[in-house]
Structure 1
Amino acid sequence: MRRRSVQLTGYPARLSWESYGPMRIAATALLTLGLIAGAARAAETPAIAGDPAAGAAKAATCTACHGVNGNSVTPEWPVIAGQGAAYVRDQVRRIRDGQRPSPLMQPMVKDLTDQDIADLAAHFSVQTPNGQEADPSYWAEGQKLYRFGDAARGIPACAACHGPNGRGIPAAGYPALQAQHSVYTMKQLDDYAAGVRYNKDAQGRSMGSPNAEIMATIAQRLTAEDRRNLASYIQGMR
């Protein structure tokens, strides 16, 4: 199957703002703001300053799965090059502490200190994702949903939290998505929709952050085709 890069400069004519109309765009924006405002941000454990150089010296084990400088070549394992340091810290801590299930990762991170995690996060945050290709059969529909959402189904634009180019909003804890493997992205969306991306506490509540609760709500509104299309578009983002 031929594959192609997704160009992010400008909008195709059929995806112009005018083609969606001011009312639809406004409705999507209001929906997005409502979801974000409705979730209180989880207070991160007081941030420890990470040292990228120290992280590079500790990253040898990570490269076995995540690739040189965080550019994984295995679709099931995520690209972490360029990922926001705060997000990496949060996720690795949750895996280490048993809040997020990961049979492969947990043994690797169980002995890491918070300083180790901060250093590794700082190292990978300054790396550059290599970029990949998007499946031409699916990316156009994924682009439409990513940029504009679907107000009729209560789905906000992904770009509102993850940025127009998929680079995330690090200060708000929203992760970068650009150039992520479509296989990995689909698995995460499936897990969010099924409520299994994070473990549950004794009261049956998710041990994920409020941001994760937002994602679970959105993922449940996506069809299997939506997830496939979005994952393909995200993989090709530059």
Structure 2
Amino acid sequence: MIIRLFANAILVASLTGAGAQAADLAAGKEKAGQCVPCHGLDGVAKAPDAPNLAGDSMFYLTEQLKAFRGGQRQHQQMSIIASGLSDEDIADLAAWYSAIEVSVTLPDVQ
């Protein structure tokens, strides 16, 4: 867990440029409040057409939010929501959702 958080902090710094402030998990958790109706605070989707975000890589989450914000990726709700996000907001949200640990249980098939 600690290694993963450290790696995520390094990735955020590299994605946001030299001298940029590292992502803030507490701020990400707070900012994720706007994501809860569809993606849940825990990153497990509440809406049937929304993806789970928990445990996704910080790189993937950052790139997708930037793509929604920049118009390279379109979605009726996400394009509007992401348009108001700063680079710091995106880094904080990506840090929050990527830091959530996910466990998987395979079905018992004989």
- Specify if TM > 0.5: yes
- In structure 1, C-alpha distance between the alignment counterparts of 2:90 and 2:15, rounded to whole Å: 11
- In structure 1, C-alpha distance between the alignment counterparts of 2:89 and 2:61, rounded to whole Å: 12
Equivalent residue for 2:15? 47
Contact 2:28 2:94 in 1 (8 A): yes
Matches within 5 A, 1:1-238: 46-48=14-16, 49-129=22-102, 131=104
- In structure 1, C-alpha distance between the alignment counterparts of 2:70 and 2:31, rounded to whole Å: 20
- In structure 2, C-alpha distance between the alignment counterparts of 1:132 and 1:100, rounded to whole Å: 32
Bigger relative contact order, structure 1 or 2 (CA pairs below 8 A, ≥6 apart)? 2
Partner secondary structure for residue 75 of structure 2? coil
TM-score by length of 1: 0.35
Partner secondary structure for residue 69 of structure 1? coil
Contact 2:54 2:97 in 1 (8 A): yes
Residues 51 and 98 (structure 1 numbering): CA distance in 2 closer, same or farther, change over 3 Å? same
Q: CA RMSD in A?
A: 2.0
Equivalent residue for 1:7? none
- The one-letter code of the counterpart of 1:117 is I
Same amino acid, percent of matched pairs: 37
Q: Work out the number of aligned pairs and report it.
A: 90
- The one-letter code of the counterpart of 1:106 is S
Partner secondary structure for residue 49 of structure 2? coil
Residues 51 and 131 (structure 1 numbering): CA distance in 2 closer, same or farther, change over 3 Å? same
Give structure 1 stretches of 5+ with no counterpart. 1-45, 137-238
- In structure 2, C-alpha distance between the alignment counterparts of 1:81 and 1:92, rounded to whole Å: 15
Equivalent residue for 1:13? none
Contact 1:79 1:129 in 2 (8 A): no
Over alpha carbons, which structure has the higher Rg?
1
Partner secondary structure for residue 73 of structure 2? coil
TM-score by length of 2: 0.72
Contact 2:23 2:92 in 1 (8 A): yes
Give structure 2 stretches of 5+ with no counterpart. 1-13, 17-21
How much does 1:53 deviate?
1.3
How much does 1:67 deviate?
1.3
- In structure 1, C-alpha distance between the alignment counterparts of 2:83 and 2:103, rounded to whole Å: 29
Residues 82 and 98 (structure 1 numbering): CA distance in 2 closer, same or farther, change over 3 Å? same
